[in-house]
Amino acid sequence: MIEKDKTKIENAVHNIIEAIGDDPKRTSIQKTPARVASAYEEIFAETGKQHFEDYKIFNVAENAGMVLVQDIPFYSMCEHHLLPFFGTVNVAYVPQNGKIIGLSKIPRLVDFAARRPSVQENITVMIADELQRILKPKGVAVSISARHMCMEMRGINKSGLFTYTNKFLGNFSEDHELKNEFLQQTHQR
């Protein structure tokens, strides 16, 4: 984020504080506009980026089975209300031609998809599609479980609700045994 964009955010937050009836010059919130701009720089770090590029591909035995990284914590901001949602992501794939991605890159891919204004459904699809693009594996499975502050802090005001989304590509959409293995290992059956 460039400095002029941070200044735009600071000015907007200053105006919001004023619009809700508070005094932006009040000592305890004077620095809030700058703090929000800095937070947004991190929270929205991947906005506008189309493809995940921070990875290396490795080779393993041709007959490698399912690779699963589960319970990856994530957070994002709802594109409708700019309120947070957060939860966990499970990502699995079946390598093809012995090609795998470094395990640490899967949580980074999750962050890539989540650190932008979005909805849970789009994050689920983006993670699956990017892994498919990068590895061209036999199959990809992604599941997300998340709590949405746009449902807990406003609107229906119901706390503790979880939303579940899944995306299955290749073998995971065709092979019910493989899909069930993924769902069992991620406690979704």
Q: Does 52 map to a domain? A: no
Contact between 158 and 151 under an 8 Å Cβ cutoff? The reply is: yes
User: Can you point out the beta strands (E) in the chain?
Assistant: 57-59, 67-78, 84-94, 99-101, 117-118, 139-148, 163-170
78 is catalytic: yes
150 is catalytic: yes
Contacts of 32-35 with CB under 8 Å at 24 or more apart are: 33/9, 34/10
Q: Does 171 map to a domain? A: yes
Catalytic residue among 62, 79, 121, 174: 79
Residues 26 and 102 in one domain: no
Q: Does 178 map to a domain? A: yes
Residues 38 and 86 in one domain: no
CATH of the domain at 39: 1.10.286.10
Residues 111 and 181 in one domain: yes
Residues 34 and 73 in one domain: no
CATH of the domain at 114: 3.30.1130.10
Q: Does 34 map to a domain? A: yes
Residues 62 and 114 in one domain: yes
pLDDT band at 2 (very low <50, low <70, confident <90, very high): confident
Instruction: Report the side by side order of strands in the sheet with 139-148.
Output: 117-118, 67-78, 84-94, 139-148, 163-170
pLDDT band at 189 (very low <50, low <70, confident <90, very high): low
How many structural domains does the chain have?
2
Say whether pLDDT at 46 is over 90.
Answer: yes
Q: Does 50 map to a domain? A: no
Say whether pLDDT at 145 is over 80.
Answer: yes
Residues 62 and 36 in one domain: no
The Cα 184–Cα 177 span in angstroms is 10
Catalytic residue among 46, 81, 96, 185: 81
Q: Does 160 map to a domain? A: yes
The answer to the question of whether 78 is labelled as a binding residue is yes
Residues 11 and 87 in one domain: no
**Whole-structure pTM value:** 0.95
Residues 98 and 174 in one domain: yes
Residues 107 and 155 in one domain: yes
Residues 96 and 148 in one domain: yes
The residue-averaged pLDDT of 97-123 equals 98
Residues 94 and 175 in one domain: yes
- pLDDT 10s digits, 9-26: 999 999 999 999 999 999
Q: Does 48 map to a domain? A: no
State both tokens at 92.
Answer: 């699995």
Residues 37 and 95 in one domain: no
Q: Does 168 map to a domain? A: yes
State both tokens at 25.
Answer: 């010059």
- pLDDT 10s digits, 53-99: 999 999 998 888 999 999 999 999 999 999 999 999 999 999 999 99
Q: Which structural domain, as residue segments, surrounds residue 141?
A: 57-185
The answer to the question of whether 51 is labelled as a binding residue is no
51 is catalytic: no
120 is catalytic: yes
80 is catalytic: yes
Catalytic residue among 10, 14, 120, 181: 120
